[in-house]
Amino acid sequence: MTENPPPSADSPEGATAPDPSRPILWSGDTGTLGEGSRRALLDLLKGPYLSGARKPQLWQSLVADEDAVRSRLHDLFLELVIDHAEEFAFTRKVTTEELQVPAALRSEALTFLDTAMLLVLRQQLLMAAGERRVIAGRTEVFEQLSVYRQGDESSWARRLNSSWTKMLNKFNVLHTVDEGRAEISPVLKMMVDHDQARAFAELYRTLTPADTDERDDPDTSGPEAEETP
pLDDT at 18: 52
Largest CA distance in the chain: 80
50 phi and psi angles, rounded to 5 deg:
-105, 125
Per-residue confidence at 228, pLDDT binned at 50, 70, 90?
Answer: very low
pLDDT at 85 over 70: yes
The β-bridge partners of 91 are 80
Closest CA to 191 of 46, 86, 81, 108: 81
- Contact, 47 vs 90, CB < 8 A? yes
Give the pLDDT confidence of 203-222 residue by residue, as tens digits. 656 554 444 454 454 433 34
Q: How far is CA 16 from the centre of its chain?
A: 40
Length of the chain: 229
β pairing state of 174-178 and 50-51: unpaired
Q: Is 124 left (phi over 0), alpha (psi -120 to 50) or beta?
A: alpha
Q: Hey, where are the domains in the chain?
A: 35-93, 107-226
Within 10 angstroms of residue 224's Cβ, the number of other Cβ atoms is 13
2 touches 24 (CB < 8 A): yes
- Spatial neighbors of 51 by CB under 8 A, at least 6 apart, are 59, 87, 88, 185, 187
The residue among 217 and 104 whose pLDDT is bigger is 104
DSSP structure class, residue 91: E
The architecture of the domain spanning 107-226 is: Orthogonal Bundle (1.10)
pLDDT value for 209: 47
Which carries the bigger pLDDT value, residue 6 or residue 148?
148
| Cβ atoms of residues 81 and 91 within 8 Å | yes
